[in-house]
Amino acid sequence: MSSRTDNDLYKKVVEVSYVYLGPAADRFIVRQIRGHLNKEPEQLQKNDLINLIDWISLAMAVLVEEEELVSQYQTELKSLVS
Amino acid sequence: MKLQSKLFYSYLIFLLLYIAFVLLPAPDPAILLHYNLSPLTLRLIDVTIILLLAGIWFAGFYGYAKLQDYARLIRQDKDGQHVSKLTRGVFFLVMWLPVSSVASAILNYIAIKHHGLLAAVKIIENYINLLLPLVGFIFIGIGARGLSELAQHRPTYRSANIMVIALVYIGLIYYRLVATTYHRADVYHMPIWLILTTIVGPYVYMWFIGMLATYEIYRYRRKVAGVVYRKSWNLLALGLGWLVVMSIGFQYLTTLSARLNGLSLYWLLAIVYSVLLVLAISFVLIALGARKLQKIEEV
């Protein structure tokens, strides 16, 4: 697993996502941040997380049919907010 | 010109060349007499085979295009470099079908005009059929090894043994079929030692790297992190594995090709149509698998 920046929050988001998306996790998260938050991964802040999690959940719902898996991923990401 | 359009134009060129060399020359009187067919019936059969081949080639080109799209999306990353090699291998496998069919149609046209060249034509056909998939499986093998190393998982001692045992028997059956087929001279037009060293040996090697690659992709699919990513590799791994099985089946069938000439036309057509349809499955699986992987990189 490789991270593109030193931003700890971004690294944690990728770490959680790695369990679900494996080698595609880093690319997936970078795309969500750039595409929906109009930011670079190193600029990710805690107050962006809720918005980011919503976008990630939407994208995951397109990829997988198992709602349980999406909600589990969502819960793990939400734990990073607190 | 975009890659997709380049691929589409090459598909059309192959198809037109094949149609021209199959349908334009007058039907071979020997075939008409052998199967008791009218020229029109033979042409109708040719058209059904052309339609089937067009469908299979399209499935192959489509599968490759999808895989190429996916490889391009991830080319900067570690897995991307290995997927690129795998894609290059699939390209050779996809090209194998139209190149061998068109070459065979052209060479057979030449052989009808110059009967003395029949042996040379068959020899060239056999080597074209070997070379393209061999190169393809070598690239797929390199890509699969890279992916397997990425997941830090090499084949176990037990699985390596099972593969070698399977390969020994597959090779022995192939050797037996080649060495004892009554019509060997009509199929290969070469002495047995040359067939064994330049055809049987390379085929067995090709099946080995094909089987190993399939197994390594299967292990990668099982061991790599990412529940969603793993699932997306299912169809692609199945499609590549199916191609290896089909290649083995094709070669077994080739050794029997002279014997198959003795079958009735209906049986012969049933075999040809079934083989072509079963082959199409592998390219459809590759296309579906590549689409699934591509989707992860696009949302």
Tell me the mean pLDDT in the region B263-268.
84
Q: How confident is the model at residue B142 (pLDDT cuts 50, 70, 90)?
A: very high
3-class SS letters over B59-101: HHHHHHHHHHHHHHHCCCCHHHHHHHHHHHHHHHHHHHHHHHH
CB contact under 8 A, A23 and B226: yes
Amino acid letter at B65? A
Residues with Cβ < 8 Å from B273, sequence gap 6 or more?
B48, B52
pLDDT tops 60 at residue B3 = no
Q: Which residues of A touch B79 (CB under 8 A)?
A: 23
pLDDT tops 90 at residue B171 = yes
Comparing alpha-carbon positions, the chain A residue that sits nearest to B78 is A23
Distance between CA A7 and CA B69 in Å, rounded?
A: 30
CB contact under 8 A, B299 and A20: no
Domain that holds residue A34: 3-78
pLDDT tops 90 at residue B146 = yes
| More confident of the two residues B184 and A13 | A13
% of chain B at pLDDT higher than 70: 98
Q: How many domains does the structure of chain A reveal?
A: 1
Q: Across the interface, which of A18, A28, A69 has its CB nearest the CB of B225?
A: A18
Q: Which of A55, A42, A47 is nearest to A10 (CA)?
A: A42
Q: Across the interface, which of B73, B224, B231 has its CB nearest the CB of A23?
A: B224
CB contact under 8 A, B227 and A18: no
Tell me the mean pLDDT in the region B172-187.
86
| More confident of the two residues B176 and B28 | B176
- Is the overall model pTM greater than 0.90, yes or no? no
Burial state string for B91-112 with b = 16 or more CB within 10 A and e = fewer than 16: bbbbbbbbbbbbbbbbbbbebb
Q: Across the interface, which of B78, B231, B299 has its CB nearest the CB of A23?
A: B78
Comparing alpha-carbon positions, the chain B residue that sits nearest to A58 is B299
CB contact under 8 A, B226 and A18: yes
Please tell me the distance in Å from B227's CA to the nearest CA on chain A: 5
Q: Across the interface, which of B74, B225, B295 has its CB nearest the CB of A19?
A: B225
CB B184 within 8 A of CB B192: yes
CB B254 within 8 A of CB B183: no
Tell me the mean pLDDT in the region B2-12.
81
pLDDT tops 80 at residue B1 = no
State the ipTM, two decimals. Answer: 0.85
pLDDT at residue B172, as a whole number: 94
Please tell me the distance in Å from A82's CA to the nearest CA on chain B: 24
CB contact under 8 A, A24 and B299: no
Please tell me the distance in Å from A31's CA to the nearest CA on chain B: 8
Residues of B with CB under 8 A from a CB of A: 73-74, 77-79, 150, 224-231, 295-297, 299
Under 8 Å CB pairs connecting chains A and B tally to 59
Task: Return the ∠ at Cα B201 (arms to B200 and B204), rounded to 5°.
Answer: 85
pLDDT at residue A3, as a whole number: 54
Tell me the mean pLDDT in the region B190-199.
93
Q: Please list the alpha-helical segments (H only) found in A1-82.
A: 8-21, 25-36, 49-63, 67-78
| More confident of the two residues A19 and B256 | A19
pLDDT at residue A40, as a whole number: 93
Q: At what angle do helices B3-23 and B39-73 cross, to 10 degrees?
A: 170
Please tell me the distance in Å from A24's CA to the nearest CA on chain B: 7
pLDDT at residue A1, as a whole number: 52
pLDDT along chain A (82 residues), means of 10: 72 95 93 94 92 95 90 93 79
**Residue A35 touches partner B, C-beta closer than 8 Å:** no
Q: How confident is the model at residue B85 (pLDDT cuts 50, 70, 90)?
A: very high
Tell me the mean pLDDT in the region B88-105.
93
pLDDT (tens digit, 9 = 90+) per residue, B237-251?
A: 899 889 888 888 888
pLDDT at residue A65, as a whole number: 86
pLDDT tops 90 at residue B196 = yes
Per the document, the length of chain A is: 82
φ/ψ region of B36 (left if φ > 0, alpha if ψ in -120 to 50, else beta) reads left
pLDDT at residue A5, as a whole number: 67
Q: Kindly report the average pLDDT of chain B as a whole number.
A: 88
Please tell me the distance in Å from A57's CA to the nearest CA on chain B: 11
% of chain B at pLDDT higher than 90: 42
pLDDT (tens digit, 9 = 90+) per residue, B198-207?
A: 999 999 999 9
Q: Which residues of B touch A3 (CB under 8 A)?
A: none
Q: Which residues of A touch B290 (CB under 8 A)?
A: none
**Residue A20 touches partner B, C-beta closer than 8 Å:** yes
Q: Which of A63, A64, A70 to mutate to test the interface with B (most CBs of B within 10 A)?
A: A63
pLDDT at residue B279, as a whole number: 84
